[in-house]
Structure 1
């Protein structure tokens, strides 16, 4: 891997990178920066934590005309937090290039004040959320006459949140010569028509193939065995000592219960989700970065794109339905030269998901508690065997004898042995199915009893 100095960046950028202690480019930076310097269209698949933000920030800053106070580059992000983060990363270089003008325009802030601001001066770069971009454009507050590059960051999330139509509208109004680049963790089939519409002959870069198997991350499976997940979570927390731990849930509605549980048990915990007011959420992110909390309970959407340093542990209360989100979750830890652990509380219903993740190159350790209540690694294959209730020999013999007695007086026809064998096999399978049904009924009854108790009722 080369050095940043090999890219031929302007001196102020190299000076800033030295102060940031960015010595060598990451894989995504090494591949993307030269292409954007040459004003190429790029589709880049890269997960959080790969350094992708600076892979487009640096070439944008390198290509700007600092004598021209007109919008030359637009960076669209799905969330306010990510927009502010990118804005801060760009603004850092203003110390080295005072003529740099960058603006951040997001929802939840006074749009009239933003329109007034744009009326006085147009920044060279705007970092903006999709709907606010459209609103400002419709208010005739944006001058795109000198626009040369348009970056869509976390495009898959923009699509998932239903904002892609706002971006589509803006791109349909800008000059065809504007270079469009897309950065995304995944590219869904339904997103491809949009990409084909606006990106002509793009360069395709996929660094996920290498980052999904980050050797710095240890993936651990913890069986719940139909226990209350809150109680299992407390046992896991008692066994670890994190610097900063992110705890992920699949639904926002789950957060209050786990938040109260941890707080009642003396843990320094906060919650991060889209339901928080924008100002409160911004304050919470700052407090997390200041290490005021050791544990953060979050949803995938709320945590996406927020750069948090020092995450040593990640815990998934359950595997997400979209397994791509697990890659994002685990990718919050094990960054740079640091190692990290990603724990997953799982049940038998998750085994197909685990198998899929393994096919993507992730290796899981299976851990459980020993007699001393310590987490230890055990053979992973044992719990994976699908439960197959076995019919006892006596039960099969009874069925066969009944069958023989029932059919002794019947006239023997050609092929009767084969037919008899098939019917006996079918009867045997029927007994097995009855065993499975009875087992399921038993489990359902146990779960029903659990649901009757309070969610985190202590034993």
Structure 2
């Protein structure tokens, strides 16, 4: 299937050709025909699956672009959880405006001069409104932005909107929409607490589940690094020195951990570091993103909420210090790399806390390779075992050799072969008993090591 099959207007097909869009993604195939036919949808889709164009294309196609200047009104409202994501959506509309200048858009986010925004809205209302919940509501309540005329409403990354505490603002705005407005909700997951919201506005919607498409991305190599309970500083220093990334994103679960990781990397001699987290002021955050996109850093330390939905080109490596509580966020992390037909690597530092989560991700279809650090390099686990044989195996070889040598030196007597065999068997039994005893001790001491043995074959 190709985009030309959707029956878009000529300027859309021309634009798609210019930006090298030929074949739609899975979510685009499922969603575009539904929105184009004015159907409400709830779509489960991860970042990097092409969902932005899955709602932009049918909306742009269905716009009434021949409205007189003095009668222009809001035809589509697109709500995003962060300034960065809203700006990305807004920027994705621009190529279509070049081929159809009658399309008007407005970006309404915090950190911008609200007086200029109000002045512009006094002259004309944009056909497509893109923005963050708080700023859009503020402009609506000030009687500056008239969103009640919207024929289409899109709530992007709805689970993130809930996590950031904006769901009440979204609820308020949708409650003001006209009765026949087409509502589309996109989310990586549907929290239980989101269900009343979904039921309230989208009870007659079509459910589209594209959540399983991302793990099959063959451009991403998923790797578990066996840390052997080493200190984080030692492991992270060796891992970062063993790779040569174009851009590496290092994810932590808490914003308080960002400074700790940055300190470790600086001690390792890495001074040009970026950071993305919730404590950054809006202007600092925007400047940081500009620097990241301008390739001023090789390493960026980030939290999930700060980096989710942000389109950063050229991410070659991703490192997860720990796995997130909500495993859908790992999909977003790894999905930062391996985009646009490029390849990428997603590393997970293995420890007792994330053992069960790794198993869950494997059940979801993600295939992990296992590597370990050896002489400062990351090597496959099988190669590591060949280069570092187990001590008890080495001891067995020595003991067995002594038995064999003993019988070689003495005068051969009848039955010596059976006797030698019994002694060798006894050595094997001792080794097995010692091995079993060692395993039992390990299980009692650390429960996760049994699973680790299954995973790593140690």
What is the TM-score when the length of structure 2 is the normalising length? 0.81
> What is residue 404 of structure 2 aligned with on the other side?
none
Q: Is the 8 A contact 2:41 2:184 kept in 1?
A: yes
> What is residue 154 of structure 1 aligned with on the other side?
157
> What is residue 25 of structure 1 aligned with on the other side?
24
**Is 1:355 paired with 2:359?**
yes
Hey, what's the Cα distance between the residues in 2 that align with 1:153 and 1:283? 24
Change (3 A) 1:24 1:256: same
> What is residue 335 of structure 2 aligned with on the other side?
331
Q: Is the 8 A contact 1:229 1:345 kept in 2?
A: no
Give runs of aligned pairs for residues 229-308 of structure 1, distance below 5 A.
Answer: 229-267=232-270, 268-308=272-312
Q: Is the 8 A contact 1:155 1:184 kept in 2?
A: yes
Give runs of aligned pairs for residues 406-417 of structure 1, distance below 5 A.
Answer: none
Hey, what's the Cα distance between the residues in 1 that align with 2:111 and 2:222? 38
Structure 1 residues 376-406: Cα deviation after superposition (integer angstroms, max 9, x where no partner): 22269x9xxxxxxxxxxxxxxxxxxxxxxxx
Q: Secondary structure at the match of 2:66?
A: coil
Q: Secondary structure at the match of 2:130?
A: strand
Q: Secondary structure at the match of 2:216?
A: coil
Structure 1 residues 177-222: Cα deviation after superposition (integer angstroms, max 9, x where no partner): 1110001111112211111111142121111212223222111111
Hey, what's the Cα distance between the residues in 2 that align with 1:438 and 1:17? 60
| 1:359 shift after superposition | 1.3
1:368 maps to which of 368, 372, 375: 372
2:176 maps to which of 166, 173, 178: 173
Hey, what's the Cα distance between the residues in 2 that align with 1:122 and 1:437? 67
Q: Which runs of 5+ in 2 are unaligned?
A: 386-437, 447-458
> What is residue 317 of structure 1 aligned with on the other side?
321
Q: Secondary structure at the match of 2:54?
A: helix
| 1:358 shift after superposition | 1.2
Q: Secondary structure at the match of 1:212?
A: helix
Give runs of aligned pairs for residues 188-227 of structure 1, distance below 5 A.
Answer: 188-227=191-230
| 1:259 shift after superposition | 1.7
Q: Is the 8 A contact 2:149 2:177 kept in 1?
A: no
Q: How many residues align?
A: 388
Q: Secondary structure at the match of 2:213?
A: helix
**Is 1:111 paired with 2:114?**
yes
Structure 1 stretch displaced more, 310-319 or 277-286: 277-286
Q: Is the 8 A contact 2:73 2:125 kept in 1?
A: yes
Hey, what's the Cα distance between the residues in 2 that align with 1:355 and 1:379? 20
Hey, what's the Cα distance between the residues in 1 that align with 2:303 and 2:353? 21
**Is 1:43 paired with 2:42?**
yes
Structure 1 stretch displaced more, 251-260 or 312-321: 251-260
Hey, what's the Cα distance between the residues in 2 that align with 1:165 and 1:220? 39
Q: Which runs of 5+ in 1 are unaligned?
A: 383-431, 441-459
Structure 1 stretch displaced more, 313-322 or 268-277: 268-277
Q: Is the 8 A contact 1:74 1:149 kept in 2?
A: yes
| 1:437 shift after superposition | 11
> What is residue 9 of structure 2 aligned with on the other side?
10
2:94 maps to which of 80, 91, 94: 91
Hey, what's the Cα distance between the residues in 2 that align with 1:20 and 1:313? 26
Hey, what's the Cα distance between the residues in 1 that align with 2:75 and 2:6? 21
Q: Is the 8 A contact 1:41 1:200 kept in 2?
A: no
| 1:435 shift after superposition | 6.8
Q: Is the 8 A contact 1:32 1:55 kept in 2?
A: yes
Hey, what's the Cα distance between the residues in 1 that align with 2:149 and 2:167? 23
Change (3 A) 1:378 1:435: closer
| 1:438 shift after superposition | 9.0
Q: Is the 8 A contact 2:242 2:376 kept in 1?
A: no
| 1:271 shift after superposition | 0.9
Hey, what's the Cα distance between the residues in 2 that align with 1:93 and 1:323? 35
Structure 1 residues 211-249: Cα deviation after superposition (integer angstroms, max 9, x where no partner): 223222111111333322122111111211112111101
What is the TM-score when the length of structure 1 is the normalising length? 0.80
Q: Is the 8 A contact 1:315 1:344 kept in 2?
A: yes
Change (3 A) 1:15 1:266: farther
Change (3 A) 1:367 1:103: same
Q: Is the 8 A contact 2:227 2:372 kept in 1?
A: no
1:134 maps to which of 134, 137, 143: 137
| 1:337 shift after superposition | 1.9
Q: Is the 8 A contact 2:226 2:373 kept in 1?
A: no
Change (3 A) 1:436 1:6: closer
**Is 1:53 paired with 2:52?**
yes
| 1:115 shift after superposition | 2.2
